[in-house]
Amino acid sequence: MQPAAVQISGRLPVVSEYGKGTVTIMNQEPVTSLKGIGEKTAALFRKIGVETVEDLIHNYPRAYDAYEEPVPVGKLTEGGIFAVSGQLVKAASVKRFNHMQLILAAMKDLTGILQLAWYNLPYLAATLQPGKILVFRGRVARKNGRLVMEQPEVFAREAYEAVMGSMQPVYGQTKGLGNKVITKAVAQALDQGEMVREYLPEALREKYQLAEYNYAIRHIHFPENRTELLFARKRLVFDEFFFFVLSVRRLKEQHQDAASPYVMKEMPQVAELVSRLPYRLTGAQKKVLSEVQKDLGSGLVMNRLIQGDVGSGKTIVAVLALVQTALNGCQGALMVPTEVLARQHYESITRLAEDYGLDVRTVLVTGSMTAKEKRLAYEQIADHQADIIVGTHALIQEKIRYDRLALVITDEQHRFGVGQRQALGEKGCGAHVLVMSATPIPRTLAIILYGDLDISVIDEMPADRLPVKNCVVPTSYRDKAYQFIEKEVQAGRQAYVICPMVEASELIQAENVLDYTKVLRQRLPEEISVEYLHGKMKPKEKNRIMERFAAGEIQVLVSTTVVEVGVNVPNATVMMIENAERFGLAQLHQLRGRVGRGRHQSYCIMVNAAGQEAQERLDILNRSNDGFYIASEDLKLRGPGDFFGLRQSGDLEFKLADIFTDAGILKQVSQEVDRLLQEDPDFGAQEHRLLGKRLLEYLGKSSGTLNL
Ligand code: ADP
Ligand code: MG
């Protein structure tokens, strides 16, 4: 069925004929059901998380390209993306070096000449006839003092005019699966797809001026203009929040005042351990620990969130709670989002138990362990030879039987969905639940988003901590930065260098881990060991590198953001971030949190390759080390509704919604959910039926697989 064209005359369609279809079931056909998509392409789609037509439709663009009017060559500035229109001045020259083929050309208009360069696009040379008038669109860089447009798209003039003014979706891509293929597949899916029946009550849509569902889905992919895009997005953000808040409220009902069979005593060994730690707990840590201990002894199931900025010392509070659990004859589990982090927590808990002579046995469970290793770990868990279990989400996915699972902790909660958290909670009947997060969410929002949890805040940094010293520098500063790293390494310290990419890409101009490592090895003295780490490496390999870095065998670690979450190597004092302009502020703050974790003065060097454009934003980080302040300043700078920039939080399980910029919608949703649950908690009213159905679908999708 071809969707009816929507007439937009003045007002955008809040309610329309568009969504009167009768179908509520989503299209679960594999993407191969689309024309032109075979097994090979399907495998590539799988890499970006798309298996079914339904997934494809919900794989929203990351950004939009606005094809703007061509600019005179004289007006071009470095770093920006522009279109220019003009005549090719001479035949293109083709060069080869390092397995790469380079095509060089130049174009001119009345205001000047612009160099053009393409890598590995041999078929282009034939198109580039001298004298031809063409439109080129791409990013402008400066090479040897001259402006060069790199890898521009080439259009005949009429072709460019046809797309001018429109917004083209830009999707997350993978090698071999480019934007064009994805865009075409989405268009096909939308055209052949059947309508989903609108499930939000009409009155609600009228009240908040929310687009009709099918309209919103279509226009999030293919908006004609910014107004349409914002309109579509608002509806989908509303939905994301709506079902999230609904499921949080349901969780709350389930746990409220539930009795727990695990009533734990405060053990003297825990107090003794606290007194023997190499540092004194901060007042905030003590306060939070006592809140946790009170919950554990209360006879009711604990559901608590510990919020604390990076480096505030959340781990030790969690570990003390786990130790107390173990000493009470129960099991405790710690679930973390990455294998690197799991291993690190496992090792530090094991070491702690050894150092302080605690009779507590810890096991590790991760996806990359061999079948035999897993079997052994499972046996130890089932026989209660293990008291503390540390792992990734393998803890819920794998067939693990616990003996007396009384406490479940998830670290860096923002990486797990509500469903996963619930699934782990359900593994232990009546188990206490503690979640830890570094996302600096204002209290009013936290109460909505974590409505099912009591909240404890660690709002104090360890006293011996020197604040990280920051600088934002242009790329020309690199030499100095390397000298600085060398000096720190010679003083016994270590450094991280972060690059946004794993390997060189034709399309994206940004530093990559593999090439950067080679460069650094050359630039730094031979005795300094430089290694790299990225998400595409095998887990075993990653672990080995991380362990060697933690042990001080590697001095400089060149890495993607895989080190972003939770990694703790207190001896590392330098965090150098290449292409800092490409990261969100929250992410930069997390990255910076990897240093300044020990006694030594630490430094964060943010290399800004985009110039003035990014400076103001990065200056916020330069000024402050406080996550809350950074989040609020970022919001001011961007203004609500401005989501074209980098996402601030990129967390929880929202695809589109941003808890900061969309805070207003979140609050509306919260009120509406309250009203709905009061008036019609069973979704019995005619206008709520479909909503109820949709909620069940949502819950089905968001909860992890259970093996009880
Ligand atoms: P986060 O809150 O980011 O998870 P961690 O718990 O990893 O932070 O703690 C960061 C570092 O601070 C660790 O090396 C830890 O041993 C240390 N630490 C924790 N609490 C204190 C404290 N009260 N005084 C000094 N150092 C502490
Ligand atoms: Mg942590």
In tens, the pLDDT along 641-672 reads 444 444 444 445 678 887 777 888 999 999 99
Backbone angles phi, psi at 220, to 5 degrees: -75, -30
**Reduced to 3 states, what is the DSSP secondary structure of residue 372?**
helix
Give me the mean pLDDT over the 660-689 stretch.
90
pLDDT score of 100 more than 50: yes
Does the C-beta of 314 come closer than 6 Å to ligand 1?
A: yes
The predicted model gives 625-654 an average pLDDT of: 61
pLDDT of the residue at 340: 81
Ligand 2 center to 319 CA (angstroms)? 11
Q: What is the distance in A from the centroid of ligand 1 to the CA of 285?
A: 10
279 lines ligand 1 (CB under 6 A): yes
Q: Give residue 370 CA to ligand 1 midpoint distance, Å.
A: 32
Q: Which of 388, 401, 223 is nearest to 315 (CA)?
A: 388
Mutation test residue for ligand 1: of 307, 568, 571, 602, the one with most atoms within 8 Å of CB:
568
Q: How far is residue 294 from each of residues 216, 289, 426, measured CA to CA in Å? A: 47, 9, 22
Among the listed residues 399, 412, 402, 407, the one whose alpha carbon sits nearest the alpha carbon of residue 338: 412
455/447 Cα distance (integer angstroms)? 8
Nearest-CA residue for ligand 1 atom 19 is 313
- Mean pLDDT taken over the chain: 85
Contact 112, 124 (CB under 8 A): no
Helical H segments across 224-263, by residue range: 226-255
Distance of alpha carbon 662 from alpha carbon 660, whole angstroms: 5
Ligand 1 binding pocket includes 567 (Cβ within 6 Å): no
Residues 233 and 231: their CA atoms lie apart, in Å, by 5
d(CA 486, ligand 1 centre) in Å? 26
> For residue range 247-300, what is the model confidence (pLDDT) as tens digits?
888 878 777 788 889 999 999 999 999 999 999 999 999 999 999 999 999 999
pLDDT above 80 (res 564):
no
Q: Which of 3-17, 115-129, 288-302, 562-576 has the highest mean pLDDT?
A: 288-302
Ligand nearest to the CA of 414: 2
Q: Please give the share of the chain, as a percent, with pLDDT higher than 90.
A: 48
> Tokens in use for 674?
């309250």
Q: For residue 602, which ligand has an atom nearest its CA?
A: 1
Q: Which CA distances in Å does 390 have to 305, 331, 337? A: 19, 11, 11
pLDDT value for 231? 92
Q: Distances in Å between the alpha carbon of 684 and those of 21, 178, 239, 693, 696?
A: 21, 46, 20, 11, 14
Query: How much is the pLDDT for 644?
Result: 43
| The token pair that represents 606 in the structure block | 């943010």
Distance in angstroms (rounded) separating the CA atoms of residues 454 and 304? 5
CA-atom Rg of the chain in angstroms: 27
Nearest ligand to residue 336 Cα: 2
What is each CA distance from 161 to 73, 133, 152, 248, 377, in whole angstroms?
18, 13, 16, 48, 63
Do 321 and 332 meet the contact criterion of CB atoms below 8 Å apart? yes
Q: Which of 446, 382, 490 is nearest to 707 (CA)?
A: 382
Average pLDDT score over residue span 207-213: 93
- Probe ligand 1: pick from 273, 276, 316, max atoms within 8 Å of CB? 316
Is 570 close to ligand 1, i.e. is its CB under 6 Å away? yes
* Max CA separation in the chain (angstroms): 86
What is the average pLDDT across 307-329?
94
Mean pLDDT of 208-229: 91
Q: State which amino acid sits at residue 24.
A: T
Give yes or no for residue 628 CB within 6 A of ligand 1.
Answer: no
Angstrom distance (rounded) from CA 135 to CA 128: 11
Which residues, including other chains, have CB under 8 Å from residue 378's CB and lie 6 or more apart? 365, 398, 399, 400, 401
Model confidence, pTM:
0.73
Would the CB of 313 count as within 6 Å of ligand 1?
yes
3-state DSSP assignment of residue 571: coil
Higher pLDDT, 443 or 375: 375
Name the helix (H) or strand (E) containing 93.
Answer: strand 93-97
Is ligand 1 within 6 A of the CB of residue 315? yes
Other C-beta atoms within 10 Å of 563: how many? Answer: 24
Cβ neighbours of residue 158 under 8 Å, at least 6 residues apart?
none
User: What three-state secondary structure class fits 68?
Assistant: coil
**In contact, 391 and 366? CB cutoff 8 Å:** yes
- pLDDT score of 12 more than 90: no
What's at 631, amino acid-wise?
A: A
In Å, how far are 471, 472, 516, 642 from 615, measured between CA atoms? 11, 8, 23, 18
Query: Are 173 and 44 within 8 A, CB to CB?
Result: no
Residue nearest to atom 4 of ligand 1 (CA): 314
* φ, ψ at 494 (rounded to 5°): -130, 165
Closest ligand 1 atom to Cα of 317:
6
CB atoms within 10 A of CB 181: 17
d(CA 340, CA 655): 25
307 lines ligand 1 (CB under 6 A): no
Q: Are 87 and 132 in contact (CB under 8 A)?
A: yes
Q: How far is Cα 632 from Cα 274, in angstroms, rounded to an integer?
A: 35
